[in-house]
């Protein structure tokens, strides 16, 4: 018995060395969720090909239909892993980029590539490869000066400092207790993805739930065709398909609501955290609910969300009182004709 125990321990240590992710309980849980999600996709799709004779016949006659469906399934799973493995944009990484650029500007002012755009958002064009080539120390004073310009005058530094990791947070950032890091434009921590949704991967997250919604809708249609064709003779098989269809419809309703909710957030340039915890955020207190302080208009919000090259470390300044008053001003006929909302 003792020998068997030693053998099992040695085998576990060897597996931990070969697969480091299995040694960490948190990472093991994340991979368990990912495997479970992939298995759910395989089960829902596999049942169709096992029980639907019409689908198999249609695959032989028109293979392109099944090829498109399976290709879309693979693309959705690839998007899932791509999103789950992407960085949401951590504040500590933005500090490194900002401090490196400050150091570079001291060494050679002509190499400075940092600007404040029209909406007072800090933009860094330095990529991650350049960041890895040099390892400059963090200069807290330069980072503090950078963040001070983003907050309204007279704000207290105590309100900006994270009580967990003791770093100065720019506006719209928040500490994630699951990741144990502060995230730029923190939206929420997605359990199924195993990562935070923030400025760096919010767009990828939207595309993932969009693809998942289309795949789920397509699969629901195939399940309805299977039940309406009366091909299944055994009652227990038909009951199993009905249960799977009910689960699919529940998932589809959830995905569509989630997609609509995040589409609204994108159009108004908000995050889930800002919408839900608005009264707890100091610089958003006192702002009317109908006013979206960081919105630049629907078209500009969409462009920045989908096509902006600012990078995952761009930071937005808190709007001034004049800008907030302009956004709170009621719409007139001239505003509608000039597309003020866009």
pLDDT tens-digit series, residues 16-67: 555 454 445 556 677 888 999 999 999 999 999 999 888 888 888 889 999 9
Please state, in angstroms and as integers, the Cα–Cα distance from residue 53 to each residue in 58, 216, 230, 231, 232, following that order: 9, 21, 11, 7, 9
pLDDT digits (tens, 9 = 90+) for 118-147: 344 444 333 433 333 333 344 577 888 888
Q: Residue 21 contacts by C-beta under 8 Å, 6 or more apart in sequence?
A: 27, 28, 31
pLDDT value for 330: 77
pLDDT value for 250: 97
- CB distance 136 to 100 below 8 Å: yes
| For residues 240-244, average pLDDT | 95
pLDDT digits (tens, 9 = 90+) for 163-203: 998 888 999 999 999 989 999 999 999 998 999 999 999 99
Give yes or no for residue 233 having a pLDDT over 50.
Answer: yes
Give yes or no for residue 277 having a pLDDT over 60.
Answer: yes
| Residue 157 pLDDT grade (very low, low, confident, very high; cuts 50, 70, 90) | confident
Domains of the chain by residue range? 13-84+201-267, 91-198+271-337
Query: What does the alpha-carbon distance between residue 29 and residue 64 come to, in Å, rounded to a whole number?
Result: 37
Give yes or no for residue 214 having a pLDDT over 80.
Answer: yes
Compute φ and ψ for 176, nearest 5 degrees: -100, 125
Residues with catalytic function = 190
Mean pLDDT (the chain) is 81
Map 159-200 to HEC letters: HCECCCCCCECCCCCEEECCCCEEECCCCEEECCCCEEECCC
Q: What angle do CA 336, 338, 342 make, to 5 degrees?
A: 80
| For residues 269-283, average pLDDT | 92
Compute φ and ψ for 114, nearest 5 degrees: -130, 135
| For residues 302-320, average pLDDT | 84
Q: What angle do CA 279, 285, 330 make, to 5 degrees?
A: 110
Map 308-337 to HEC letters: CCCCCCCECCCCCHHHHHHHHCCCCHHHHH
Give yes or no for residue 282 having a pLDDT over 50.
Answer: yes
pLDDT value for 313: 81
**DSSP state letters, 114-175:** EEE-TT--EEE---HHHHHH--PPP-HHHHHHHHHTTSPTT--GGGTB-TTT--BPPTT-EE
């Amino acid at each position: 018995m003792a020998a068997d125990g030693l053998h099992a321990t040695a085998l576990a240590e060897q597996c931990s060395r070969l697969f480091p992710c299995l040694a960490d309980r948190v990472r093991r849980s994340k991979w368990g969720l990912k495997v479970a999600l992939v298995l759910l996709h395989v089960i829902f799709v596999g049942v169709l090909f096992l029980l639907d004779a019409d689908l198999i016949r249609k695959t032989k006659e028109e293979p392109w239909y099944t090829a498109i469906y399976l290709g879309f399934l693979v693309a959705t799973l690839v998007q899932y892993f791509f999103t789950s493995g992407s960085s949401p944009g951590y504040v500590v990484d933005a500090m490194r980029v900002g401090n490196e650029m400050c150091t570079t500007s001291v060494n050679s002012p002509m190499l400075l590539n940092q600007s404040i755009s029209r909406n007072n958002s800090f933009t860094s064009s330095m990529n991650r490869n350049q960041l890895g080539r040099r390892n400059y120390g963090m200069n807290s004073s330069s980072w503090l000066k950078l963040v001070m310009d983003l907050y309204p005058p007279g704000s207290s530094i105590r309100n900006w400092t994270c009580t967990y990791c003791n770093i100065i947070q720019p506006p719209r950032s928040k500490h994630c207790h699951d990741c144990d890091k502060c995230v730029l434009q923190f939206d929420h921590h997605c359990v199924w993805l195993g990562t935070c949704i923030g400025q760096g991967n919010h767009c990828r997250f939207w595309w993932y739930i969009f693809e998942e919604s289309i795949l789920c809708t397509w699969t629901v249609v195939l399940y309805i065709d299977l039940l309406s064709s009366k091909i299944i003779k055994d009652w227990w098989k038909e009951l199993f398909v009905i249960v799977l269809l009910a689960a699919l419809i529940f998932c589809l309703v959830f995905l569509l609501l989630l997609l609509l909710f995040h589409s609204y957030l994108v159009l108004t340039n908000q995050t889930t955290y800002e919408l839900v915890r608005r009264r707890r955020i100091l610089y958003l207190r006192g702002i009317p609910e109908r006013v979206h302080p960081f919105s630049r208009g629907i078209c500009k919000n969409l462009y920045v969300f989908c096509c902006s090259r600012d990078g995952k470390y761009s930071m937005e300044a808190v709007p001034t009182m004049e800008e907030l008053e302009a956004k709170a001003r009621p719409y007139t006929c001239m505003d509608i004709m000039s597309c003020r909302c866009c």
